[in-house]
Chain A
């Protein structure tokens, strides 16, 4: 899949590919290829150093972007998956279990956007039902009970909005996850690897360390929905994305994210291995830094961090 603003890049790549097939020993064509490669590099730099917030949202949603499965396969040794909420069913929009990451035993949880049409549909595109949220809650409890750090990979458009989700208490399930994260006495490391859609994302994102990939986002509402509600015009999604301040650098500025992991030029979907490697490096460093941390200190710091986020003032001071 090609995003609109990637067109110049893909066209150059295609042209280079064609010439490569024809070039053989021709010096002239080799020179042309070299020239086009310079142009390609320039185009990538030009486009990717000036991404708008909405373009970043589109990159975050790219179907070829590395998702939970890619990280799990590359970073987790011996992933021991656990299933079910013990109440209703198993929701594969989220997956989790025990894993070894860089020698640390952890509980790894992530939204699973799937690998192909079938698994994407089966996992509801990473949009959890209440049973998914409750499975995650079980995993939080297990992590706390057995002293295993939580590694949470966030990549969801949001918790699912549907009839059955409401019948089974979607709001109740999300609230319970937030409450569980507030008190789980182990290090919580969240990484937003793609989409951070509202409450469904937050239910995996109250953490001691929040990392974000450069083109991931976290937002209270999808820009399209915000545009239709606030601007009464869904076509103003790009403006809404800018107004919502949902990019990694905005969120780092507002103290919501601790770290931004840069994506290779061209975006994570164009260089999955390199991206995963960078996230892995960060995870290794963060897990190392939390090793042996006293749980009371963790909980106090986590509390203080979220307690202090707000933009209020006493009227008489303004």
Chain B
């Protein structure tokens, strides 16, 4: 989506790049929600000037020395300006002080390896020790395959930490955005007090293509969208991105 004009993949209409940016990557014509970089997500949600980033410098050790991973990491760092697929810290949302982590799909599909697992775990722990509500915004293709077992074990890591947080009395609000799949959905993203999804986001365990290939089933229109998940009782609310901050302020108001 470079240049002044771009064509919306969803409605095929030409849209101004700057209009798209100003609306946090939501199409002004059809309201399609494109993935949002973590930096913009934090700008969208936090009260101006309140975000304090933590653990920016955490990087993966490439524990398996997996073929091609080094290059993928270098490319992703350059593209995103991040060291891995998540930004985390504290901020205020409508005056509510919270612990916040936001995944970034641009960084190897927002996949969860050691760094995502560790930063999410630290954010949860910060919420617990500082008695802060916890908000995690997910956008992830799932596990970081290049990290093999370390990637799988981040599901266990975030779960043992989250389990403690959930006994602590502060709310955990999970925001699911397009796309959220695999190891992220099957761990911290779904064991929340409140689950909010953005309109039209694809959310699930296995991707639709994998399901079609392995089961030869034909999948219904709208399969695994936020709307599908809400209809099946899996999410609480579907909230437009530009209304998300206000919605979080409301729910935090009830819970703190």
Residues of A within 8 A of B (CB): 159, 161-163, 165-172, 174-176, 178-179, 181-183, 198-199, 202, 206, 218-221, 225-226, 229-230, 243-246, 250-251, 254, 256, 302-303, 306-307, 309-316, 318
Contact = CB atoms under 8 A, between A and B. Distances in A.
A310 B115 CA distance: 8
A314 B58 contact: yes
A175 B186 contact: yes
B247 to A, nearest CB: 21
A315 B58 contact: yes
Which residue, B66, B147, B153, B190, has most C-beta atoms of chain A within 10 A? B153
B205 A246 contact: no
Contacts of A166: 204-206, 211, 223-224
Nearest to B153: A309
B145 A230 contact: yes
Nearest to B184: A171
Interchain residue pairs A-B with the least CB separation, the first 7:
A161-B206, A311-B63, A171-B185, A182-B163, A178-B159, A220-B152, A170-B205
Of the candidates A163, A303, A311, the one having the most CB atoms from chain B within 10 angstroms of its own CB is A311
B44 interface: no
A269 B68 CA distance: 36
15 contacts: A166-B224, A169-B233, A175-B159, A176-B191, A178-B156, A199-B155, A245-B64, A245-B148, A250-B149, A309-B154, A310-B117, A310-B118, A311-B150, A312-B58, A315-B83
Interface of B: 57-64, 66-68, 83, 113-115, 117-118, 121, 143, 145-157, 159-164, 166-167, 181-183, 185-191, 204-206, 210-211, 214-215, 217, 219-220, 223-224, 232-234
Contact of A307 (B61, B64, B161): B161
B232 A168 contact: yes
B7 to A, nearest CB: 28
Contact of A256 (B153, B183, B219): B153
Contact of A244 (B60, B64, B153, B233): B64
Most B-side CB within 10 Å, residue of A161, A176, A254, A312: A312
Contacts of A230: 67-68, 145-146
B217 A162 contact: yes
Contacts of A179: 159, 162-163, 166, 191
Nearest to B207: A161
B214 A161 contact: yes
A316 B113 CA distance: 19
A303 B232 contact: no
B159 A182 contact: yes
B160 A206 contact: yes
B166 A316 contact: no
A175 B163 contact: no
Given A175-B186, A314-B58, 6 more contacts: A163-B217, A165-B205, A172-B234, A230-B68, A306-B156, A309-B153
Contacts of A181: 159
Contacts of A309: 150, 153-154, 156-157
A245 B114 CA distance: 16
Contacts of A202: 152-153, 155-156
Contacts of B146: 230
Nearest to A256: B149
Nearest to B206: A161
B190 A220 contact: no
Contacts of B211: 161-163, 166
Given A229-B145, A315-B57, A206 B186 contact: no
Given A166-B206, A243-B67, A306 B60 contact: no
A134 to B, nearest CB: 13
B191 A310 contact: no
B160 A302 contact: yes
Contacts of A182: 156, 159-160, 162-163
Contact of A175 (B83, B117, B188): B188
